[in-house]
Structure 1
Amino acid sequence: MATPREGESIQIHSYKHNGHIHRVWDETIVLKGTNNIVIGGNDHTIVTESDGRTWITREPAICYFHAKQWFNVIGMLRTDGIYYYCNISSPFVYDQEALKYIDYDLDIKVFPDMSYILLDEDEYEQHSKKMHYPEVIDKILWRNVEHLIHLIRHRQGPFSPNFVNKWYKKYLAHRG
């Protein structure tokens, strides 16, 4: 597998289980790129939805992807603190076209006080039936929901104090 280089601008492509494109982030600057981890930063980047609609992100964000974990985390820097949006997803792959993953509907939103809510369980149930998620995938995904909640509660990994701020400073340095 190719590895994105630090300072490189890449796209992020999110797919659904059936292989259809879900969402594309036009530009993210790689802050760390290894075989296992990609950390990126973006701000006011164009996002294109599967139906062709576009929108622009409202605030700076630090994105954390892992090649062995079934989730990714976006830390959004807002005036009242850092909010996290966690996608339950396949591990990422990078193929020089883009960083790619499969979005499995379930999300966890984390607030600046580290309280959180699980989102889109109904969408997960609908897509699970419609796209025939295998039982083994279902078990992996729910195990990763529990793992994410553990990381949030213990402020570990991308939820550790200063994680987002540290990488945001690096992002600003790359932007010049």
Structure 2
Amino acid sequence: MIMSQKLIVLAGLPGSGKSTLAEGLSRHFSLPLFSVDPIEAAMWRGGLPRDQTGIAAYVVAQTLAAEHLRLGQSVVIDAVNPVEAPRAAWRSLAAKYRTDLAIIECVCVDEATHRRRIEARMRAIEGMSEVTWAGVEKRRTEYEAWTDARLTLDTSAHPPGRLLAEAIGYLA
């Protein structure tokens, strides 16, 4: 399936299903995927202090995405994107390269399902410990509501294959 050039941004709290969906879209469309968590973990392994890498990891992801957009390629981004600053940066990047910005926000409405996911999660990102449920609850209080046009998927309501199909349809 051929689609127009897009900057595809997956957003949502940890454990909401965005990484699973981002990986599925990357595979389906054969697109590069830039995920903020592994970028940040690599910075830590490289010796950067943890208190200096949060925003920097987003900047690295934006820079990598820009290189691919410059070449006319679509890109998938996997990041929480909890506040306006990174969201504005993605909008700006899409405008700079005159590409479509497609936002997919993953939510897990069923709190018990979300908590089970977090407590069972084993991503094995070298140097990064798994987030706790208390950490997710804290992040939820800091997570600003989106105002951009987007596809919102409740990942607790449907199996991953159906969610992927819905996202593919949205991007087509």
Query: If the TM-score is normalised by the length of the shorter chain, which range does it land in?
Result: under 0.3
Higher strand proportion: 1
Higher helix proportion: 2
When normalised by structure 1's length, the TM-score is: 0.26
When normalised by structure 2's length, the TM-score is: 0.27
